[in-house]
Structure 1
Amino acid sequence: MAKCSVRSRHSTAMVKITSFVSAFHLFTVCGAVTLATPKTTQVTVGEQVLFHVNIQGGDSYDVTFHSKNPNTLIAVWTINNTVNLKSAHLLYVGRVQWNESGSVVLYNVQVKDSRKYKIEINYQSTGLKNNDEASFELRVFEPVSQLAVKIIDDCTTPNIILNCSTSKGTNVTFHWRKESLSGAIDSAFNGTQLVIDLGNEEEQQVYRCIAENPVSNAKSDPVRPEPCHRNKNGLFWIILLGLIPAVLVWVYYSIISTKAGRATQEHSEHPDALSNGFVEPTYITLLNPRRTSE
């Protein structure tokens, strides 16, 4: 006889299940196993879940384990002093097993295993009622991974945007917590993004992103945003990039003006020449020519 501890999500107490089983069966139900209840049971990806049903004590009965929405026949066992697996769905081969304590064990649960389940017991012995059944609802979640916070600041406004994200997690909710430097929590904000108007901040604050789902939570490192004008290097490059176009335009017009001045000066210093190299003559007409003496 051996006793195995099974975790229950709906109670702080440990549920003790006693069974006369082989060492192999003991190995499958001992360890990180969560006991499913008729209410919704929430577990983490990779855990083992135990679906328990009360057996009247007959030596011969059939066990049918299936899911709802969609309706899927997962496995059927015949119990007659020994456990005989009659059929199993291909997606559950190696992941589902009947334990003689009166439980179905589902191994390595995944997010896609989130659904309703039902166990039916059909007795073959006379003198017992025809069947027993038990229903369960299972919800599987991937835990939240480490958080990443990105600061978005284009230096055109006093506003700074904090963006929080996680690479893993199922049904994750995000919220921000605003803290003073003394550690006091001032307020909280929901959502992955937080817009901060640093122009209205009376004192320097730090912010933390918190992400959580029903089975896990994660917290970012404290973020202390600063307005853009405090970053001298960033301001220098902004000014420099703004001056470059103006300088290029000034240089361009200076070159054009210099070339035009030189062309005007050369034209005034040198008379016009004909294409054959001779200088074009200039004729002067006198309006009142003097008479020659007779």
Structure 2
Amino acid sequence: MNNQNERLKRPRWVSAVNMLLHILVCQCGRTEGITVAAAGSTTNVTVGQRVLFPVLPEGNQTVIIELTFKSIIVVSWFSKSKSPKLLKSYERRIDIQEDGSIRMNKVQLSDSGLYQIKTHYMSVKPPLKPPKYSRFHLQVFERVSKPNITAECRRNNISLSCSSIRGNEVTYSWETLPAGGNDSCLHLGQTMEIYPLPPSESTTYTCTAKNPVSRATSDPIDLGVCSIQQPRDGRWVSALCGLSALFLIGLLIFFYKRNH
């Protein structure tokens, strides 16, 4: 009797666990490295991940499932044959799950775009069920690499530039922290111009690069050592300009007195 009770309880326990996992997948969108695409919205994924396009046919009916991308049929699957027809370039990257859902492996940047799943019901009894359409927008991102800062010491200012060699759709921001201070300043953009010249106290600058799937921060750079001074030749130029002006004024005075 106890054994029979345990057998009756076990399916309920298993069903509860499966339901919990299903809720987690729907809410979080990720499980075991798989991103579940959400119909009618944009799903962000990282290069190399796996994406699951859920297929939920209504009832236990015979169906034909088609996944199209850029108006091209990527995979066509007939529920009775169990053998999908794949576009040649996707043969090693697409799998059909037991429930008919379509899994794409090792996504690439070129996989970004709009996908459509058509579920065509093959019922032989009226009324005929119209086909069902589900649309998914997939956006693939490459993780950003650690950015580097380059500083150009100019005559009147310092130009800072931040760049990351890897990543797409990257945005940049700067953080400035004065020496001995706790209050930092933020600046948006890939470049930053510093006016006026930095004070003698050292100031630390860091740059952060990010996109919807990753972020990375550069090593700090201290611009206290970036001393901007006018070249020595500039003093001679200033002196010559002053002497020329005095000479010109003297000539004007001489000719004025001579004429009178």
TM-score of the aligned structures, taking structure 2 as reference length: 0.71
SS at match of 1:34: strand
Partner of 1:192: 190
- Which protein shows a greater Rg? 1
Retained in 1: the 8 A contact 2:160–2:191? yes
Letter in 1 for 2:82: V
Q: CA shift at 1:200, angstroms?
A: 5.3
CA deviation profile, 1:146-184 (whole Å, cap 9, x unmatched) = 111112225xx2522221111100110112111223453
CA deviation profile, 1:29-56 (whole Å, cap 9, x unmatched) = x731001002100010110001112212
Q: CA shift at 1:196, angstroms?
A: 1.8
Q: CA shift at 1:5, angstroms?
A: 5.7
Task: Check 1:10–1:183 CA distance in 2 against 1; reply closer, same or farther (3 A cut).
Answer: farther
Letter in 2 for 1:196: I
Q: CA shift at 1:226, angstroms?
A: 2.1
Retained in 2: the 8 A contact 1:58–1:125? no
Partner of 1:215: 213
Partner of 1:41: 43
Q: CA shift at 1:145, angstroms?
A: 0.6
Listed as ranges, the matches of 1:137-216 within 5 Å are 137-154=137-154, 157-182=155-180, 184-197=182-195, 199=197, 201=199, 203-216=201-214
More strand by share: 1
**What CA distance in whole angstroms lies between the structure 1 residues aligned with 2:26 and 2:101?**
18
**What CA distance in whole angstroms lies between the structure 2 residues aligned with 1:133 and 1:183?**
58
Q: 2:108 aligns with which of 101, 107, 110?
A: 110
TM-score of the aligned structures, taking structure 1 as reference length: 0.64
**Within the alignment, does 1:60 sit opposite 2:62 as a pair?**
yes
Retained in 2: the 8 A contact 1:206–1:225? yes
SS at match of 2:89: helix
CA deviation profile, 1:82-116 (whole Å, cap 9, x unmatched) = 5111x222221111122122311111111111111
Higher relative contact order (CA 8 A, sep 6+): 2
Partner of 1:88: 86
**What CA distance in whole angstroms lies between the structure 2 residues aligned with 1:185 and 1:210?**
17
Letter in 2 for 1:163: S
Q: CA shift at 1:202, angstroms?
A: 7.8
Q: CA shift at 1:198, angstroms?
A: 5.5
Q: Percent identical across equivalent pairs?
A: 29
SS at match of 1:91: helix
SS at match of 1:199: coil
Retained in 1: the 8 A contact 2:114–2:138? yes
**What CA distance in whole angstroms lies between the structure 2 residues aligned with 1:10 and 1:158?**
56
Listed as ranges, the matches of 1:61-80 within 5 Å are 61-67=63-69, 70-80=70-80
**What CA distance in whole angstroms lies between the structure 2 residues aligned with 1:8 and 1:205?**
46
Letter in 1 for 2:113: R
| Equivalenced residues, count | 214
RMSD of aligned alpha carbons: 3.2
Retained in 2: the 8 A contact 1:6–1:31? no
SS at match of 1:226: helix
Partner of 1:272: none
Retained in 2: the 8 A contact 1:7–1:33? no
More helix by share: 2
